[in-house]
Amino acid sequence: MNHFINIKDISASVLRKIITDAKKRKLKRKKLNTLDPDKDANLKGRLLIQMYEKSSLRTRLSFSIAIKQLNGGELTLRPNELHLGKGTESLSDTAKIISTFGNAFMIRTNSDRKLEELKNYMTIPIINGLSPSSHPTQVLSDVFTIEEIKKKPISKLQICWIGDANNNVINSLIEASVKFSFKLNIGCPKKYQPKKSLLAWAKKNKSKIKIFNDSKKAATKADVIFTDKIISINDKVNKKEKLKDFKNFKVDAKIMKCARKDAIFLHCLPRGTEVSNDVFLSKQSKVWQQALNRVYVQKSILLYCFNKLR
């Protein structure tokens, strides 16, 4: 079995294998309905247990559909209804029970430490469905979407991130830029640069990252412009102040003009004020395709976790 917790802990060849498998799966589903299983669905009888300590729409839906398309089943736990959530059962006992009843565990959590501890106690694969420091399933799916739309390996493209450069999504994108060897320009205010330890890791692993404190410079000649919410879920910051700090980092038509003519706009959603409505709803925006693609990639991630990726 394999865990799926951070992109940086998974080899580049396995990550590529997941993307390739997802591409094949998507092609083969053209005539199928949402709940029809994949032709080679081989997780019959397997139960995915999910738990969300933070809100979710896309991750929840995509994992529920993904496991069903692989012929498995799913159960979602509400953390506030568990003994663990009420402080009357230990993490280790909870992990043991989840491992005994289920075959894989997907968690969206408020705590990276909890994820690490759970990993140590679980005897089934654990998947990180977003933590304070990373959002690996999202970013892997975004690599899939970019290559699908651009019809090129991502290593041949210029990717740009505008916005908060110290959150879960950009952390995973930085890790992906190393694993898939793509150029990443980051445009962010000085106060919100990427974490130094992550940048040091990236540098050591031959990253192609450039940081700008000017959003137009960062976006110049980009093939893909990404952004994310300025205020992440449960972000304990002075919201008014943080939003003010980002007033020059909104993705609008002027920013898109700096990018290549055929550049696309991506956003993992949900959105806030970091992107103008006209860009978000423009032809360049591929956010709906991006969201739906998560189903395909989650399936290949699940198969990797069960050691069934061919």
Q: Which residues are catalytic?
A: 108, 135, 138, 228, 268, 294
Q: Is 247 helix (H, G, I), strand (E, B) or coil?
A: coil
Q: Is 285 helix (H, G, I), strand (E, B) or coil?
A: strand
Q: Which does 169 bind (CB under 5 to 8 A by kind): ligand CP, ligand NVA, none?
A: ligand NVA
Q: Which does 57 bind (CB under 5 to 8 A by kind): ligand CP, ligand NVA, none?
A: ligand CP
Residue in 145, 168, 207, 290 binding ligand NVA, rule: CB under 6 A? 168
d(CA 214, CA 162): 9
For 203, counting Cβ atoms within 10 Å of its Cβ (0-12 exposed, 13-18 middle, 19+ buried), the class is exposed
CB of 179 to ligand NVA, least distance (A): 20
Question: Which CB sits closer to ligand NVA, 145 or 232?
Answer: 232
d(CA 46, CA 60): 17
CB of 234 to ligand NVA, least distance (A): 8
Only segment of 57-65, 82-90, 140-148, 215-223 that touches ligand CP (CB under 6 A): 57-65
The answer to whether 193 and 240 are in contact (CB under 8 A) is no
The answer to whether 297 and 147 are in contact (CB under 8 A) is no
d(CA 22, CA 295): 9
Backbone φ and ψ of 128, nearest 5°: -85, 110
Residue in 46, 68, 179, 229 binding ligand NVA, rule: CB under 6 A? 229
Residue in 50, 59, 172, 227 binding ligand CP, rule: CB under 6 A? 59
Q: How many residues bind ligand NVA (CB under 6 A)?
A: 10
Residue from 80, 23, 73, 33 nearest 49 by CA: 73
Report if residue 14 touches ligand CP, rule: CB under 6 A. no
Question: Which CB sits closer to ligand CP, 109 or 207?
Answer: 109
Report if residue 167 touches ligand NVA, rule: CB under 6 A. yes
Residue in 18, 19, 43, 56 binding ligand CP, rule: CB under 6 A? 56
Question: Which CB sits closer to ligand CP, 1 or 57?
Answer: 57
Q: Which does 229 bind (CB under 5 to 8 A by kind): ligand NVA, ligand CP, none?
A: ligand NVA
Question: Which CB sits closer to ligand NVA, 19 or 268?
Answer: 268
Q: Which does 12 bind (CB under 5 to 8 A by kind): ligand CP, ligand NVA, none?
A: none
Report if residue 268 touches ligand CP, rule: CB under 6 A. yes
Report the residue count for the chain: 310
DSSP per-residue codes, 75-134: EEE-GGGSHHHHTSS-HHHHHHHHHHH-SEEEEE-S-HHHHHHHHHH-SS-EEES--SS-
d(CA 58, CA 129): 10
CB of 290 to ligand CP, least distance (A): 9
Q: Is 182 helix (H, G, I), strand (E, B) or coil?
A: coil
CB of 203 to ligand CP, least distance (A): 28
d(CA 154, CA 151): 9
Residue in 47, 149, 211, 269 binding ligand CP, rule: CB under 6 A? 269
CB of 56 to ligand NVA, least distance (A): 8
Q: Is 209 helix (H, G, I), strand (E, B) or coil?
A: strand
Question: Which CB sits closer to ligand CP, 96 or 271?
Answer: 271
Interacting residue ranges for ligand NVA, rule: CB under 6 A: 130, 135, 167-169, 228-229, 232-233, 268
